[in-house]
Structure 1
Amino acid sequence: MVQRMTMAWVKWLGCAGLLLLLSGPVMAAEGVLEILAAGDVLLGGRMLEAPQAGELFGPLTRRRLEQADIFLWNCEIAGLSSVSKQNTFVFHADGLLFPQMAFANGAACTANNHVFDGLEEGAANLMAVLEGARIRHNGLHDRGTFAPLSLLPQREPPVYLLTGSPMSQIGSGPRIVTLSYPQLLEAVRTLRAREPEACIILYSHDGNEGFSEASDRQRLWADWFAAAGADIILFAHSHCYGGFETLDASPRKTFVAWGLGNFLFGGNRGWRSRSDVRL
């Protein structure tokens, strides 16, 4: 059953940690646009010791992910490097599992507080791993070269992804960076002015860990992003599921999901003690 609403119809897809969004602005042009939005993904540590060793998804799950128009997920990890931050949790990936996340409709969000765990070297290696696995991504970029990611190039109106975080800049190098919130806000304004009819999805790594409620910072910036022209705002970082709402006062009745939880990260409770987090 498809329920048509002014902005979005939302449904949790069981325990998989996915949020299903059916977006109103795109619905009017070419029918329903289905977006599967996943939270934090950690493709490293000891995940291969899971019961289904070597396989991240069963055939039914993979088929469901492939059916959507868009599948978004947060890549909260750095590529291997010879250096690391003095951090309790250092998430390094060797790239072994990344081909299993290569969906034709997918895109990884690479603006978060762990993409620089290996400093600029690790960030550069992560970009190489993603590109080697043919995974589209948005977030990490050479300084001054950020561009919105076109998710459905042949669709009218176009659909774009922009990602940023207030926590990504720590440890970044002189060349590879992510957008801060003021930069992300300006990117939304510029894109909306250039393409008035586009659907703009903003994925931000923000929120208070362990709390499902939106933080004051999230609410403040969500209002500003919405006023700038964002259609959908997705937050991850809290490691638990948050609520969702439509900002009716915004120009485009922006839909906001305050916390997407974890998707492949060791569970949503007691994640610090799980074996797939490398200490």
Structure 2
Amino acid sequence: MNRKARLRKKRLRASLLGLLVIVAVTAVSFAAKGIGKDSEDIKNEQPAVEEPQDVSQNEPQEPEPEVIPDTIINIKATGDIMFHPSQIDGGYNASTKSYDFHNSFKAVKGIFQEADLAIANFEGTTAGDEVYSYQGYPLFNAPDEVLDAIRDAGFDILSTANNHSLDTRKAGLIRTVEQIQSRGMYNVGTYTEKPETRVLIKDVKGIRIAFLSYTEMLNGLDSVLTADDLDTLINITDETKMKEDIAYAKENDADVIIAYLHWGIEYKREQTPSQEALADMLFKEGVDIILGSHPHVIQPAKTLDYDGKTKFVAYSMGNFISNQRVETLVPYGMSAEVSKYTEDGVIIDIDIEKKGETGEVSIKSIEYTPLWVYKGTTSEGRTEHIVYPIMEFLENNDLSEDSISRMSRSYSDTMAQMNAE
């Protein structure tokens, strides 16, 4: 290697050494100042300190207790449904050769459709017209179409144990039950065959209602049945059977027991001592509500206290619909003073309450809707019978002064008998 080459090599090493020194000094300077941060940021930077945590937030929370709401159901009950010849004829349309009875219930339809359960006494039979003609007293047999109108009016249950249950004998009783049930309604008190129980239990919004139905009399027609058939087909007032049925209702968790009784004396506006005695026995056994039919006039309704529990009895709810009135009964020897009360009816409106927290069930309230049966003539010349809720029609300009006067009298006399609070 010549002298010039060695000199260039020495100069290259010196230049590399100087460059390394400059890089080192620069790195130290940058590190001292802090790359990417202001010196003020470095001065103020503090080590992170964890916030204290609320330990209670991590503890399991007690669930809010569930509030079970109270339940209230409404039951509407009324008296005797009877179809006499003038009613049957008035429902017949000769041009169509068919029957239609919906008009009779048009003014009360909305009332019954509001109820959770609506019940009445169907007094008579629907045996068809092959053996018996359509007829009224003393052997009632109405067209099937009356049941269509009753169902459409809002009724759910018909009590069928009464003194006219056997008017068309065993076959008529059975067919009546079949026709009621085929329309989606229930009946209690008569049966097509030996029932597993004589008690009808309906669960309404979690409240179990047991219905019982009995009649004191059968107009002597019990003689047309054998003892076995009589025991099978119809409930006769019998203390032993009644106690058995009440016990069955209790065993099957009935919250309320309602007995529909066909009893008392016709056209008598006061209950008899025997009615009071039977009611007392039933209340002591566990019945809560007694609904009476048969007298065809309004008898007193009362609330009673049994060991701190409210019970209710309506000894007779009168006629819901019929052709009984002053004009039809006076010619047969009944006085106008007595016969006028057969035009009166009432809807017993009962609210039953079940407490959500305790399960206690009681009668919450009782109200009354007095009814009056109008009889008139249609524009086609047919007779019509219409059940009117009195207070809604007292100022109806379509009704005559006589009708308004009779409705006003009916309202006062009915409410005088309704003293339950």
Classify 1:47/1:146 alpha carbon distance in 2 versus 1 (closer, same or farther; 3 Å).
farther
What secondary structure sits across from 1:64 in the alignment?
A: helix
Aligned to 1:179: 235
Q: Does 1:92 align with 2:141?
A: yes
The alignment of Structure 1 onto Structure 2 pairs a total of residues equal to 244
Distance of 1:118 and 1:267 partners within structure 2: 21
Aligned residue type for 2:141: H
SS at 1:207 equivalent: coil
Relative to structure 1, the CA distance from residue 267 to residue 216 in structure 2 (aligned partners, 3 Å threshold; closer, same or farther) is same
Tell me the TM-score normalized by structure 1.
Answer: 0.76
Q: Report SS of the residue matched to 1:89.
A: coil
Counterpart of 2:286, as a letter, is: G
| Shift of residue 56, structure 1, vs aligned partner | 3.7
Counterparts of 1:255-270 in structure 2, within 5 Å, are 255-267=312-324, 269=326
By relative contact order (CA 8 Å, sep 6+), the higher-ranking structure is: 1
- Quick one: structure 1 residues 38 and 268, their matched pair in 2 at CA, closer, same or farther if it must change by over 3 Å? farther
- Identify which of 40, 45, 57 aligns with 2:85: 45
Are the structure 2 counterparts of residues 270 and 231 from structure 1 closer, same or farther at C-alpha, using a change threshold of 3 Å? farther
Report the alpha carbon displacement of residue 44 of structure 1 after superposing the two structures with TM.
Answer: 5.4
Aligned-pair distance for 1:110? 0.4
Superposition RMSD in Å? 3.1
> Which of 141, 145, 148 is the aligned partner of 2:199?
148
Q: Of the candidates 158, 162, 165, which is equivalent to residue 112 of structure 1?
A: 162
Structure 1 residue matching 2:85: 3-state secondary structure:
coil
2:183 maps to which residue?
133
Distance 1:270 1:46, change over 3 A: closer
The code of the aligned residue for 2:121 comes to: N
Between the aligned partners of 1:63 and 1:221, the Cα distance in structure 2 is 34
Which residue in 1 is equivalent to 2:61? none
Using the TM superposition, give the Cα deviation of residue 47 of structure 1 relative to its aligned residue in structure 2, in angstroms. 1.1
Note closer, same or farther for the CA distance 1:88–1:95 as it changes in structure 2 (3 Å cut).
closer
Q: 2:288 aligns with which of 215, 231, 243?
A: 231
Alignment gaps of 5+ in structure 1: 1-27
Question: How far apart, in 2, do the equivalents of 1:193 and 1:227 lie?
Answer: 16
1:189 aligns with 2:242: no
Shift of 1:60: 4.6
Once residues 88 and 100 of structure 1 are traced to their aligned partners in structure 2, the CA distance between those partners, rounded to angstroms, is 21
Q: Deviations over 1:217-236 (max 9, x none)?
A: 21111001101111100111
- Show the counterpart of 1:65: 112
What is the percentage of aligned positions where both structures have the same residue?
A: 20
Preserved contact between residue 132 and residue 141 of structure 2 (Cα < 8 Å): no
Greater helix share, 1 or 2?
2
Q: List runs of 5+ in structure 2 lacking aligned partners.
A: 1-68, 93-99, 333-374, 376-382, 385-421
Question: Distance in 1 between the 2:307 and 2:218 partners?
Answer: 27
Question: Against the structure 1 CA distance between its residues 128 and 44, is the aligned structure 2 distance closer, same or farther, given a 3 Å change threshold?
Answer: farther
| Whole-angstrom CA distance in 1 between matches of 2:124 and 2:198 | 21
Letter in 2 for 1:178: I
Bigger radius of gyration: 2
TM-score (norm 2): 0.52
- Which secondary structure state, in structure 1, belongs to the residue aligned with residue 78 of structure 2? strand
3-state SS, counterpart of residue 93 of structure 1? coil
